[in-house]
Amino acid sequence: MPERLLVIGGDAAGMSAASQARRRRGPADLEIVAIERGHFASYSACGIPYWIGGLVPERDALIARTPDTFRAEHDVDVRLRHEVFAIDLGRREVSIRDLDTGAQTREWFDQLVYAAGATPRKPPWARTDTAGIFGVQTLDDASALRAWLDAEPRPRQAVVVGGGYIGVEMAEAMIQRGLSVTLVEHGDQPLSTVDPDMGALVRDAMRDLGIDLRTGCAVTGLHERDGRVHAVQTSEGTLPADLVVLGVGVRPNTRLAADAGLPIGVTGGIRVDLQMRVLGMDRIWAAGDCVETVHRLTGQPVHVPLGTHANKQGRVAGLNIGGGYATFPGVVGTAVTRVCNLEVARTGLLEREAEAAGYQFVSTKIESTNRAGYFPGAQPMTVKLIADKRSGQLLGAQIVGRSEAAKRIDALAVALWNYMTVDDMAGLDLGYAPPYAPVWDPVLIAARKAVDLIHAD
């Protein structure tokens, strides 16, 4: 009789684990069952804002593989609209509810992958039945939002709450659909995932696009009419709204895991070892937005719910379940996004994060261009570097540009991953040709300037 792998959660992490395990162990050796609460498995959650905004025309374009594909090609039994509501580690069983019929069943397992993802945070005022309030974590969330946009009466005034990646991307998507959009952020800047000076560039771009940006503004309540949202009450007055998008972050979805006794870390995520095995547990694995990982520069546990990590972690878990050996080495805080035709990228630590981690640092910011200044299509680019004051070790980098800027962060992420100093970096052999860079790449110009600062005294 084959061993049985049960996967809780059918998105990036869970399905990566399933397919990697299958690659190494055939159906006669390993049965795989994946339980997914929603209507979809294995899709690009990061693509949701582009479908909502209309840039990606079809929802199904976001779906990487359907349950039918998993069944036919990978022999993975994917059960959509089923929810695990209890895990019994002693008996190695889960209890499952069919969300359409209400029927309950139990399934045994030898190995378990917990990949339940994350849940959008709901402020107290959003815990209501009022229609027209949406998180955008899952494709089900997005489908509901899209239906609201397309139904009569058509919403015309959107309020987006929270100025993180999702909030900013969704604000732009609403503008693209012709709504008037207000973004309410209780902090001082949009995109607090970059330093305030870089965030100021984002702020300008958002305003140019016509987004009404209210920073330092808190939402305190909702007004409804006939069960539908009608306005948002803020610390600065009332904003009319027939659509509210929540972008105030997510929390790891660990209720079931915690109930079953899986260890939860200080970030709220499940604790795992390097192989993505739940810490101290036998053949119980976890991956994706529900786990915490380590930041390689601070040594601290962090919760970084990004699709790229979910995919890697799922692959690592699956490879190990399959009898291989792989590890997930932690993160360095790389993230890129497109905001209103700006490319925004970061890696490593922001100034406030470097300070909180106990570093003393210098930071420098330079302006250059993506191509040789004389080459057609040259666009401005700003690069900021943060380096340890004594050793010159690169601690963080941020880039804002208009074209061919965001992915330049990768070279910096690799430099930082390898604990390079800015002195070392100034000598790096990066690609140069006029269509792709000035003779001194902006990254090198920034490194040179950081070197000057480090050795200034």
Positions marked active-site: 46
> Would you count residue 22 as binding a copy of itself (CB under 8 A)?
no
Concatenated DSSP letters for 124-158? GGG-S--BSEE--SSHHHHHHHHHHHHSSSPP-EE
Nearer of residues 347 and 393 to a copy of itself, judged by Cβ:
347
Task: Give the range of 83-91, 114-122, 324-332, 352-360 binding a copy of itself by CB under 8 A.
Answer: 324-332
Q: Assess 181 for contact with a copy of itself (CB under 8 A).
A: no
Residue with tokens 């990978």: 74
Query: Token digits for 137?
Result: 């974590």
Residue whose CB is less far from a copy of itself, 101 or 325: 325
Render the burial of 443-452: b for 16+ CB within 10 Å, e for the rest: bbbbbbbbbe
Q: Which is nearer to a copy of itself, 159 or 332 (CB)?
A: 332
Least distance between a copy of itself and beta carbon 56 (Å) = 6
- Measured over the CA atoms of residue 286, residue 288, residue 291 and residue 293, the dihedral's sign is positive
Alpha-carbon gap, residue 286 to 107, rounded angstroms: 18
Q: What is the C-alpha separation between 105 and 109, in angstroms, rounded?
A: 13
Stretch 49-68: interaction string toward a copy of itself, x if CB under 8 A: -x----xx----xx------
Among 306, 321, 387, 447, binds a copy of itself (CB under 8 A): 306
Part in contact with a copy of itself (CB under 8 A); list of ranges 146-154, 178-186, 252-260, 325-333: 325-333
Coil vs helix vs strand at 310: helix
- From residue 331 to residue 370, what is the string marking binding to a copy of itself with x (rule CB under 8 A)? xxxxxxxx----x-x-x-----------------------
Q: How far is the CB of 222 from a copy of itself (least distance, A)?
A: 31
- Of residues 168, 213, 400, 437, which one binds a copy of itself by CB under 8 A? 437
Interaction pattern, residues 390-429, with a copy of itself; x per rule: CB under 8 A: --------------x-xxxxxx-xxx-xx-x---x-xxxx
Segment lying near a copy of itself (by CB under 8 A), choices 26-34, 198-206, 216-224, 431-439: 431-439
252 binding a copy of itself? (CB under 8 A): no
Residue 178's contacts (CB-CB under 8 Å, 6 or more residues apart) are none
Binding mask 28-47 for a copy of itself (x = CB under 8 A): ----------------x-xx
- Pick from 308, 365, 402, 453 the residue near a copy of itself by CB under 8 A: 308
R_g of the chain, CA atoms, integer Å = 23
Return the structure tokens found at 170.
């969704």
Q: Which residue number, 174 or 316, has a Cβ lying nearer to a copy of itself?
A: 316
Give, in order, the Cα–Cα distances in Å from 163 to each of 22, 37, 118, 175, 303: 40, 28, 18, 15, 18
Size of the site for a copy of itself (CB under 8 A): 68
Q: With 0-12 CB in 10 A as exposed, 13-18 as middle and 19+ as buried, what is 407?
A: exposed
Q: In this complex, which beta carbon is closest to a copy of itself, that of residue 278 or of residue 336?
A: 336
Task: State in angstroms the smallest separation of the CB of 228 from a copy of itself.
Answer: 31
End-to-end CA distance of the chain: 71
CA angle 429/328/405 to nearest 5° reads 40
* 26 to 66, 115, 311, 325: CA distances (angstroms): 20, 22, 21, 18
Q: Which is nearer to a copy of itself, 125 or 436 (CB)?
A: 436
DSSP symbols for 403-416: SS-GGGHHHHHHHH
CB 432, min distance to a copy of itself, A: 4
Q: Does 214 bind a copy of itself (CB under 8 A)?
A: no
Are 247 and 158 contacting, i.e. CB atoms less than 8 angstroms apart?
no
What is the rounded CA–CA span in Å between residue 344 and residue 354?
A: 19
Q: Please state the closest distance from residue 189 (CB atom) to a copy of itself, in A.
A: 20
**Cβ nearer to a copy of itself, comparing 148 with 375:** 375
The token pair at 111 is: 């190995």
Query: Judged by CB, which is closer to a copy of itself: 187, or 330?
Result: 330
Chain residues in the site for a copy of itself (CB under 8 A): 12, 44, 46-47, 50, 55-56, 61-62, 306-309, 311-312, 315, 324, 326-329, 331-338, 343, 345, 347, 372, 374-376, 404, 406-411, 413-415, 417-418, 420, 424, 426-437, 439-441, 443, 448, 455
